[in-house]
């Protein structure tokens, strides 16, 4: 069985078992040697507040925080590499064969492209937030859209579940 595990943001962090509960249940139902996991860590650029998008807003924010120097910028690619490393370490600790890479772009597009490149039996989405109520009611979540287009099981674990 080949599983594509997509990490869109920081995992829950405090409880690896909860982050990877679905994968662990697959291991329990199958032998670890029969599961290959391909981890895909998405590069996410942080959303910047409109108030800090201009020079005056940044200066005001630094003064309010008591900072005299500009803080180090967030490195989204480095964050994705760190998430990938932690994820591969945990998946391998389950006795599974795991590979991984980072990718940038919208989750739906990146997963569809990756699924076209390889033959996966299941997609596991480890997402940061819960979709809006309108998205859930209309069944237009990323997981629902991927399930419809890929024709393989797509499971999503959201941080708020």
Q: What is the pLDDT of residues 137-154, one digit of tens each?
A: 776 888 888 988 998 998
Q: Which pLDDT score, from 0 to 100, does residue 76 have?
A: 79
The CA-to-CA distance between both ends of the chain, in Å, stands at 26
Q: In sequence order, what are the beta bridge partners of 76?
A: none
The percent of residues above 70 in pLDDT, for the chain, comes to 66
Tokens at 140, concatenated? 């237009």
84 neighbors 102 (Cβ within 8 angstroms)? yes
Contacts 24+ apart (CB under 8 A), 86-89: 86/11, 87/5, 87/7, 87/11, 87/39, 87/41, 88/39
- Average pLDDT of the chain is 76
Provide the pLDDT for residue 10: 60
- Please, is 95 exposed, middle or buried when counting C-beta atoms within 10 Å of its C-beta (0-12, 13-18, 19+)? exposed
Cα dihedral 130, 88, 36, 43 in deg (nearest 10): 50
Tokens 């040697």 sit on residue: 33
This model's pTM is above 0.75: no
Average pLDDT rounded to a whole number, residues 49-60: 57
For the stretch 8-39, pLDDT in tens is: 766 545 455 566 777 777 777 777 778 899 99
pLDDT band at 51 (very low <50, low <70, confident <90, very high): low
- Name the one residue in this structure whose structure tokens are 């069944």: 139
> Looking at residue 58, what is its pLDDT?
57
User: Which is nearest to 89 in space by CA: 20, 138, 154?
Assistant: 20
HSE toward the beta carbon, residue 158, CA cutoff 13 A: 10
pLDDT in tens, 117-130: 888 999 988 876 66
Q: Which residue has the tokens 């490393």?
A: 85
**What single-letter DSSP state applies at residue 52?**
G
pLDDT band at 114 (very low <50, low <70, confident <90, very high): very high
Tell me: pLDDT of 52 over 60. no
What is the structure's pLDDT at 117? 85
């Amino acid at each position: 069985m080949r599983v594509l595990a997509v990490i869109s943001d920081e995992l829950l962090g405090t409880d690896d078992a909860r982050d990877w509960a679905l994968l662990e249940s697959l291991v329990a139902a199958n032998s670890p040697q029969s599961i290959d996991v391909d981890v895909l860590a998405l590069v996410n650029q942080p959303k910047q507040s409109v108030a800090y998008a201009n020079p005056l807003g940044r200066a005001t924010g630094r003064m309010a925080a008591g900072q005299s120097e500009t803080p180090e910028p967030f490195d989204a690619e480095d964050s994705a590499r760190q998430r990938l490393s932690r994820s591969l370490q945990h998946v391998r600790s389950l006795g599974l064969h795991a590979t991984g890479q980072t990718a940038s772009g919208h989750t739906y597009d990146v997963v569809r492209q990756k699924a076209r490149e390889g033959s996966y039996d299941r997609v596991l989405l480890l997402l940061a937030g819960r979709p809006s109520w309108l998205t859930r009611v209309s069944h237009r979540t990323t997981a629902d859209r991927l399930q419809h287009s890929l024709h393989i099981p797509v499971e999503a674990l959201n941080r708020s579940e």
